[in-house]
Amino acid sequence: MAKTFDAIIIGAGQAGPPLAARLTAAGKTVALIEREQVGGTCVNTGCTPTKALVASAKIAHSVAHAREYGISLDGGAHVDFEAVMRRALAISAKSRSSVETWLEGMKALTLVRGHARFTGPKCIRVGEDSYEADQIFLNVGARAAIPDLPGIDQVEVLTNSDLFWLKQRPEHLVIVGGSYIGLEFAQMFRRFGSHVTIVERGAHLATKEDPDTSEAIRSVLEAEDIAVRTNAECIRFSRTEAGPAVGVDCTSGEPEIACSHILLAVGRRPNTDDLGLDQTGVELDKRGVVQVNDRLETSVPGIWALGDCNGKGAFTHTSYNDFEIVAANLLDGGDRKVSDRVVSYGLYIDPPLGRTGLSETEAVSKGYKVLIGKRPMSRVGRAVEKGETQGQMKIVVDAESRAVLGGAIFGPGGDEAIHSVLDMIQMGATVDDLNRTMHIHPTVAELIPTISGELAPAAES
């Protein structure tokens, strides 16, 4: 006989636990089913451990460049790779433990460990037990995609999750994929002492960005002796006597790259292929992404999808915002929508990139006549004082309404300073509103009003 609850949540990622907290606080009985570790990608293989590694890599880089700041370190420094990895995993474990403690304190919550599979629209089986509820929430996340590239069966390839279990630093790490995950690992492993090559099919790294931002990112990485191979066609793998190799057809460079390790960072796929969703009528696209409306409702009444599996953001903050939308609509009488939020994210190389709203390319493609404010970090006082003058900042403005459309800050503190632009967009503010604000000096953010007063028409608009 099935165990009955008011609600069932499948997956304990960034949306699942806070939703369980709201539902139980509202007097509902909830079953939260998790087959692996609570906390999802962010806590276990994403934000928490990777940003811990980024911090260690930053220290290594700072020590290596200490003389530039007038600091002498006799004997230099040594990267203890195992200690670096232990630190990251310990921080991850502490965060995971905090989530577990939180869940254990929810009196109306039953935490079920195991693999959930639907046997009907509102019935789920975990092992020998069955569970039913009128409301079901999918928060099953995503995993690294493994494309069927030629020769992939001849070599061992790593995903971002696998890297945390390395015992030794790679001698030469080839990263297939020049987007956000790949770029973060590229820089950190170079700073740990590995040789690193990035292989990217597109013409630019971080292809969602404007070409000038992408080229600024490439310049930072190449300045640290990271090899970048773009326009890489016919990517293939082979095993030689010396070890694995990656073959590419590029406009320049050798056709084969010998290495010690290969990281695949070519996208992610939702964890929806083994849930038995064919028993529910929930609509998926060809990649397995759950199709949802603006309120995150699936094609089946009473079933919602939150987080990476719904294709509406694939970030920790978008997953958490999914929870906020669903909770507000179900419990607070709200009418919140996914389309109300402003796109925003960060790239956590050093310096970091903070991005929000529309890029220049996106704005022009949507038919806006745009004005652009732009300044290199070499002309930002705070960046000069810190000795971190790589990168640039940029703001995109509607020439007709003067509304702030978007911004990109690639430089020291860019991941934090970008929130000034994000908040202005969310509030529907104009660039003239922005110009009336007084910012703290010396900061990076204080230059946002300055460059907004130096607007010029975009060449394409």
Both tokens of residue 124?
């789920």
Helix, strand, coil share of the chain (percent; to 5): 35, 25, 40
**DSSP symbol at 238:** E
Question: Which residues face 138 on adjacent strands?
Answer: 10, 305
- Give the residue from 266, 189, 213 showing the smallest Cα distance to 418: 213
Phi, psi (deg, nearest 5) at residue 257: -115, 110
- Report how far residue 424's alpha carbon sits from residue 406's, in angstroms, rounded to the nearest whole number: 9
Neighbour count for residue 6 (Cβ, 10 Å):
16
Residue type, 11: G
Write the CB contacts of 94 (distance below 8 Å, at least 6 apart in sequence): none
Which of these is catalytic: 78, 115, 439, 441? 441
Contact (Cβ atoms closer than 8 angstroms) between residue 116 and residue 35: yes
Contact (Cβ atoms closer than 8 angstroms) between residue 372 and residue 335: no
Catalytic residue status for 172: no
Helices (H) and strands (E) in the chain, counts: 12, 22
The angle at the Cα of 321, spanning 29 to 265, to the nearest 5 degrees, equals: 110
- Among all residues, which ones are annotated catalytic? 441
